Structure formats: C-alpha cells, structure tokens
C-alpha cells in the first residue's frame, strides 16, 4: 500500500514537472523573424468566401487579395489603376467599355486569365443572385472579342461602371476550375450553382494570395500565389485571426501576437504604447446617419419639410462626434462620403436651436410631439448607435420632441424598416466602391429608390424629388470631367430633402506593430495586404 502511494506521488510529481516545463517552453518570446506570418486581428463578419455571394467588410479584404479585379484604386482612393486590364476605353455615350487584358496574367494554378473567365465570372455574379449581384445590373452583354479583349455593353449610359469594377466582388474566377467544382454562370445559377461550399476551402483567383485555410469564427490563412508577378508580395503567409473585442485586438498588438488591427476605437488607441504600436488615424468613407420617414405608419404628427428641417437643426453635430467617438470623426454634409465626387465645398450641418424652434412653430408643432425611434442595437465603425441615439434624444428634447428609443437586432430593424417604416432611425453605410452614383441610387428621393420606399414615398408623395433622378441620368452619361459638378448638384438636393441626416463619419484607426509598414485603408477594398511589409 505504501509503495503504491509513493509510486503515485512520483507519478504526480513527474506530471507536474512536465506541465511546468511545458508552460515554461511556451513562454518564450523570440524576436519576430522577418518570414513569420503576418497576423491581422479582426472581428470576422464573413458570410461567404464566394465572390458572387460574399457581402461584408472582411469579404472585401479576402476577395481583394485573392481575386483580381480588372481595375484597381490607387492609394489616393480616387485614381483608377490597371489590374487585370492593362487599358480600357469607353464610347462617348458611356454605354460600351472595351478592356484589354494583361496577356501575362495567370491564375494560381498557372493557367492564363482570359476574357472568357471575366465574362463567366460577371455573368455568374449576376445570375447567382447573391448580395453583390446588383453590381452587374444594367449590363446588357459581355463579349470576349478575343482571348484578351472584352467588350461590355450597357442597357443605358453608366459612367460609374469602371468604379464598380474596383469592387472586389467583381474579381475574376478561374472558370474551368470553378465549373469543375459545381459553379455555374447560367441564367438559372441561383438554383444550380453548388460551389459555395467549395469556395470555403479553395480559391481560384489570380490575386497576390491564395486561400490556405478557413475556419469560421476562428481564422483565415492566406499564402502567397507563386504565379503572381504584378508586384512583389511583402509577406508570404498571412493569418486573419478572429478577435471580436477591440480591447483584445489592442492587447494582441501590444504583446506582439498580432501585427495589424483596424477596428480599434480611438479611445483604446490612445492607450496603446507608442514604443510598441504605431497608430494612424485616417478619415474613413463610412458614415452614420439619422433618417426620417414622413410616410411611416407610426408617425404621430406629419413630418413636414419644416419639421424635418427643425429636427436637422436641433442636432448638435459636433457634440455627437465628441460623444460617440471622442472627437475622432468628421461631420458630413450629404449622404455621399466626404472626398467622393460632388462633395467638395458642401455646407456642413450646424446646430441652430433658435431657427429649429421657429420652424417647429411655423409647422404648428411649437409644443412638440413624440416620435418612435427604432434602430439597430450595434456598435458599428466604433460608434455605439444606442449611445448616439441617447445624444440625439437629448438634442431633440430641446425643441420639445420626445424620441422613444427602441434598440433592436439588425434583422428585426430590417423587418420594421421595410414593413410599416420607422419615423426616426439611425443606421450606417460603407462604400462598395469609389463612386457617388451608388449613394444617389440608394438615398435619393427618386421614385423606387430604397430610401424613397423606406421614407414612405408611396404614402407621402411630397418627399419625391424627380430632379435627383434626372441629374443622376445626366451624371451617368457624362465623361469624368463633367461628373463632379452634377454630383454636387445632386448632393445639394439630397441635403434639401432632409430625409437622410449624416451625423458622423468616424475616423479609422490603423494600428500596427513598429516593424510593420505599408498598411493603408482603401475605399474599395479595405486593406490591400500584399502592400504590407515587415522590416
């Protein structure tokens, strides 16, 4: 009995010693070798890795780096640059585009990128009817004139088509490989394409990286595409690590277990040690807005133009920016992001309580009213919408408007907004590509636009603004040089609608380890990983 006890004790001590040794082994913190994988800490929002079905910020990063588009966006976030297309030209009417593809471009399996692949990828993008399928709306035909020449004909003039092509969802897929794995570009692709599962474990692009592995809610691994020759890839292996919490992302940067994070809020960023982490705060193209729906069934009083203007003037825009992101953001005049075509010299919104009260009195609402405010309960781009709406509630109280705040899940909000409508709400928008037409199509009070419907245009025709649609048609038929002025006019019209009230464009914190360089924010593509280097 005693012998057994001694043996057990010895065994226990051995196990303990092994455990301690093991723990000690794991604690080593060697200097980061130059060939170590790059680690990007990020809260994943992936909903697919299929270019025709993915629709999210993380998807933009993945697709940009794996599937090349024909056209890219330069570091100034304005200038188009060649990617798979070496050159392109549009006819005078902006209805036909001809692209000359790079004859040296190859997919990750070494096979050449040809016009047939582009045609197939874009037809599939449209026919699968996924999140980004609208990008091919208005495309009448796509023809491969020869192996490296592509001709795209539009139903109507569309000067924004080149901008759309910077969106990573338009990336080109190796059609032979994808078809062999269940993909289809046929008209019934929404029913017959079975490749989405295959895309979760494989990639078939010509971009700087290939998919090396993906575990939902855990990690996504890239490895350099050996056939990619357009530029030199900075770091050959990259791991995107799902890190939901901004504070955890900051801690990973601080202890060196992550190299890059771009979802850290400005307050947390201020506490990062400057000797270990570099933080660049840059203006983003994302924005948060308050929206009014005069046609919503829940309105207790008519949201006339005067009332809407009074509400717009009651908001303390500077205070909201200070309250939500500690001042790390910018006001925005119209529902087109600062820096996009047509936004130069727009009048920024200002609080004017005296004028707001005057307008309320003019509308017969001097005594105020109650308004239901249903909004998604989420923190987006560093802005907690619940906090922001509390500030909006305080501001509106100053003109005797009582906002009844009701935070809900996004999917529930979506049901409300497309059902009876929501009198007052708050939500966000991030660009899909560089170009202003997307905002006009979405936010303008043109009959049939998403926000015309949500604002209750069918119930309240007074909000319809036909001029915006006419100007958009002009802009889409205009060459680059003439677009700026037309979009400026549209922006002024949208400001006058007083339906969409942008309140803050939050800055973006690009945080990275000291040895990391080349981190930048792209309007179309979020984070071009191939440009990142380790010194």
Partner 1 sequence: MKRYILRRLVAMPLLVLGIVTVAFFISHATQGDPLVSILGDRQMDNPEVVAAARARWGLDRSLPVQYFVYVRNLVTGDLGISIRTKQPVTTDLMARLPATLELVIAAMLVGSAVGIALGVLAARFRDRPFDHLSRLFALVGSSLPVFWSGLILLYIFSVKVDWIPGPGRLDARTTPPETVTGFFTIDSLLAGDLGTFAEALHHLALPALVLGWAVMGIISRMVRASMLDVLSQDYVLAARARGARELRVLFHHALRNALIPTLTIIGFSFAYLITGAVLTETIFSWPGIGSYAVNAARNLDYPAIMGVTIIGGLAFLITNLVTDIAYAVADPRIDMQ
Find the shortest distance in angstroms from Cβ 219 to partner 1. Answer: 7
Find the shortest distance in angstroms from Cβ 133 to partner 1. Answer: 6
Q: Rounded CA gap, 520 and 501, in Å?
A: 29
Comparison of 161 and 451: residue with beta carbon closer to partner 1: 451
Comparison of 39 and 373: residue with beta carbon closer to partner 1: 39
Beta carbons within 8 Å of 134's beta carbon, 6+ residues apart: none
Find the shortest distance in angstroms from Cβ 298 to partner 1. Answer: 15
Comparison of 47 and 394: residue with beta carbon closer to partner 1: 47
3-state secondary structure of 89: strand
Find the shortest distance in angstroms from Cβ 135 to partner 1. Answer: 11
Q: Is the dihedral of CA 432, 434, 436, 437 positive or negative?
A: negative
Comparison of 132 and 234: residue with beta carbon closer to partner 1: 132
Question: Are 324 and 392 in contact, with CB atoms under 8 Å apart?
Answer: no
Comparison of 252 and 361: residue with beta carbon closer to partner 1: 252
**Residue 53 CB neighbour total at 10 angstroms:** 22
Comparison of 26 and 110: residue with beta carbon closer to partner 1: 26
The CA distances from residue 200 to 54, 115, 172, 208, 212, in Å, are: 11, 25, 17, 18, 10
For the chain, give percent helix, strand, coil, nearest 5. 35, 20, 45
The CA distances from residue 387 to 382, 393, 400, in Å, are: 11, 10, 20
Find the shortest distance in angstroms from Cβ 429 to partner 1. Answer: 9
Comparison of 418 and 461: residue with beta carbon closer to partner 1: 418
Q: Which residues bind partner 1 (CB under 8 A)?
A: 19, 21-27, 29, 36-37, 39, 41, 46-48, 53, 55-56, 129-134, 190-191, 196-197, 200, 215-219, 239, 241-245, 247-248, 251-252, 254-255, 257-258, 408-412, 414-416, 418, 427, 442, 450, 453
**Quick one: DSSP state of residue 106?**
B
Q: What is the DSSP string of 23-57?
A: HHHHT--PPPPTTSPEEEEE----S-SSTTT--SH
Find the shortest distance in angstroms from Cβ 431 to partner 1. Answer: 12
In terms of residues, how long is the chain?
Answer: 535
Comparison of 8 and 418: residue with beta carbon closer to partner 1: 418
Find the shortest distance in angstroms from Cβ 24 to partner 1. Answer: 8
Angle formed at CA 172 by CA 171 and CA 175, multiple of 5 degrees: 145
3-state secondary structure of 109: coil
Find the shortest distance in angstroms from Cβ 44 to partner 1. Answer: 9
Find the shortest distance in angstroms from Cβ 214 to partner 1. Answer: 10
Comparison of 268 and 304: residue with beta carbon closer to partner 1: 268
3-state secondary structure of 354: helix
Beta carbons within 8 Å of 291's beta carbon, 6+ residues apart: 422, 424, 425, 426, 427, 451, 454, 455, 499, 500, 501
Beta carbons within 8 Å of 24's beta carbon, 6+ residues apart: none
Comparison of 10 and 244: residue with beta carbon closer to partner 1: 244
What is the pairing mode between strands 508-513 and 260-261?
antiparallel
Minimal CA–CA distance to 282: which of 531, 38, 46, 75?
75
Find the shortest distance in angstroms from Cβ 132 to partner 1. Answer: 8
């Amino acid at each position: 009995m005693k012998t057994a006890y001694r043996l057990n004790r010895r065994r226990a001590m051995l196990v303990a010693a092994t455990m301690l040794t093991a723990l000690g082994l794991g604690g080593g913190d060697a200097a980061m070798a130059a060939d170590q994988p790059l680690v990007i800490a990020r809260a994943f929002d992936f909903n697919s890795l299929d270019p025709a079905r993915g629709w999210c910020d993380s998807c933009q990063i993945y697709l940009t780096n794996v599937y090349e588009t024909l056209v890219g966006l330069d570091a100034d976030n304005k200038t188009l640059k060649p990617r798979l297309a070496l050159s392109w030209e549009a006819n005078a009417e902006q209805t036909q585009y001809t692209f000359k593809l790079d004859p040296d471009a190859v997919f990750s399996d070494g096979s050449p990128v040809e016009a047939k692949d582009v045609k197939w990828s874009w037809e599939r993008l449209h026919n699968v009817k996924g999140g980004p399928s609208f990008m091919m709306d208005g495309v009448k035909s796509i023809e491969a004139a020869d192996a490296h020449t592509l001709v795209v004909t539009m139903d109507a003039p569309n000067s924004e088509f080149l901008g759309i092509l910077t969106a990573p969802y338009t990336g080109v897929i190796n059609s032979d490989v994808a078809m062999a794995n269940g993909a289809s570009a046929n008209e019934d692709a929404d029913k017959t394409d079975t490749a989405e599962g295959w895309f979760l474990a494989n990639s078939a692009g010509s971009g700087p990286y290939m998919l090396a592995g993906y575990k939902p809610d855990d990690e996504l691994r890239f490895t350099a595409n050996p056939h990619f020759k357009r530029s030199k890839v900075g770091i050959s292996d990259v791991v995107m690590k799902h890190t939901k919490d901004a504070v955890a992302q900051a801690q990973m940067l601080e202890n060196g277990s992550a190299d890059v994070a771009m979802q850290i809020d400005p307050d947390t960023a201020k506490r990062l040690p400057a000797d270990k982490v570099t933080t660049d705060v840059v203006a983003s193209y994302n924005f948060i807005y308050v929206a009014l729906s005069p046609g919503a069934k829940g309105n207790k009083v008519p949201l006339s133009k005067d009332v809407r203007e009074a509400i717009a003037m009651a908001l303390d825009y500077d205070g909201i920016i200070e309250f939500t992101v500690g001042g790390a953001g910018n006001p925005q005049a119209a529902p087109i992001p600062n820096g996009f075509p047509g936004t130069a010299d727009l009048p920024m919104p200002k609080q004017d309580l005296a004028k707001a009260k005057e307008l309320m009195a003019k509308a017969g609402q001097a005594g105020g009213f109650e308004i239901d405010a249903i909004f998604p309960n989420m923190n987006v781009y560093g802005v907690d919408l619940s906090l922001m709406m509390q500030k909006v509630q305080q501001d509106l109280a100053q003109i005797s408007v009582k906002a009844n705040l009701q935070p809900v899940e996004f999917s529930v909000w979506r049901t409300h907004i497309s059902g009876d409508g929501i009198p007052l709400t708050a939500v966000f928008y991030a660009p899909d590509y560089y170009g202003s037409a997307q905002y006009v199509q979405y936010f303008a009070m043109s009959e049939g636009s998403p926000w015309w419907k949500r604002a209750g245009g069918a119930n309240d025709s007074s909000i319809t603004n036909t001029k915006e649609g006419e100007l958009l048609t002009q802009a889409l038929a205009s060459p680059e040089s003439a677009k700026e002025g037309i979009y400026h006019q549209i922006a002024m019209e949208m400001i006058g609608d007083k339906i969409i009230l942008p309140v803050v464009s939050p800055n973006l914190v690009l945080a990275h380890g000291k040895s990391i360089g080349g981190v930048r924010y792209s309007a179309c593509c979020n984070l071009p990983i191939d440009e990142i280097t380790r010194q």
